[in-house]
Amino acid sequence: MKTQGTRELVDHIFATYWALRAGLAVLALAFPLILWIGGHLLADLPLAGSMSEYYHARSAHDPATGEPGHGVMRDAFVGISFAVGMILVLYKGFSKPEDWALNFAGLFAFGVALFPMRWPVGGASAEHCISFHGFCAVSFFLSISSVCIFRASDTLHLIQGETTRKCYKLAYRTIGLLMIALPVVVWVLTSQQIVRDYRTFLLELAGIYVFAVYWLLKTYELHKIKSRWGAALVQVRFEELRLRDLFRLSAMSITPPTVDDRKPVQ
């Protein structure tokens, strides 16, 4: 009976864990599309130059056009940014460096929402120096990029089979290269006027989607680890709660079995 209760608890914790990861991936994939399609349907807006412009952009026929903070998609932009930031802060990374990188990414997502870009673009209020909004946006992408590039292999020692581990390593290296290469490609295309006016939006889209692909692949990898070792081999440890951890997920540790026990639980 005790074993059954423990297994149910473990299944419940993992179900919450997978839902949290899946929710972040869905938000990341939907964010650019919600802004683009929503702006078009609600105000017949063309594709904006950046996602941040949707905080301000309105229909050309709207009396509030040109006034900062009156964007038709402002609520969606702020709401999704906050949702993504909160998930990143609450999610506990596998290693301390990953956890810190995700925490900073979440805080920078809050900054993107709380400190909107200057408006109008290229107007009298624009300055050559980077704004606090721009600093938060760039820092957000650098934080999530560091997770993709430097922390992707943290859990691979739990994968059984050298060939499988090599496949994951290759996939993660490819994603890491894409995090660097795609912004460069977009920059070249827009600089040569092959794609016009949408440089920042496409850069943001590339960064977000590559991170979403990484997040989904890592979710699949962790699910395979959990399935292989089985709930009976997963040790759930609830550490002593400290004040600063009240709004964080409790720590979990996955302990692989010994060499003699490396068989999936039936």
Mean pLDDT of 45-52: 89
- pLDDT band (50, 70, 90) for residue 99: very high
**Amino acid, single-letter form, for residue 233:** L
Which range is least confidently modeled, 17-21, 163-167, 176-180, 226-230? 226-230
Mean pLDDT of 201-213: 90
Residue 88 lies in a domain: yes
Residue 143 lies in a domain: yes
**Amino acid, single-letter form, for residue 17:** Y
At 71 the three-state DSSP class reads coil
Determine the structural domain holding residue 210 and report its residue range. 2-121+129-261
Residue 266 lies in a domain: no
Nearest to 140 by CA among 94, 205, 85: 85
Summarised one tens digit per residue, pLDDT across range 111-165 is 999 999 887 765 544 444 568 888 898 899 889 989 988 999 888 888 888 899 9
DSSP state of 56: T
**pTM for this prediction:** 0.79
Cα dihedral sign for 151, 157, 163, 164?
negative
In what helix (H) or strand (E) does residue 28 lie, and over which residues does it extend?
Answer: helix 2-43
What mean pLDDT value characterizes the chain? 79
pLDDT for 233 beyond 50: no
pLDDT of the residue at 8: 78
Residue 185 lies in a domain: yes
Residues of the chain with pLDDT > 90, as a percent, come to 35
pLDDT for 191 beyond 70: no
Residue 71 lies in a domain: yes
- pLDDT band (50, 70, 90) for residue 60: low
Residue 220 lies in a domain: yes
**Strands of the chain, DSSP E:** none
Q: How many residues are given for the chain?
A: 266
Residue 63 lies in a domain: yes
What domain count does the chain have?
Answer: 1
Q: Contact, 201 vs 49, CB < 8 A?
A: yes
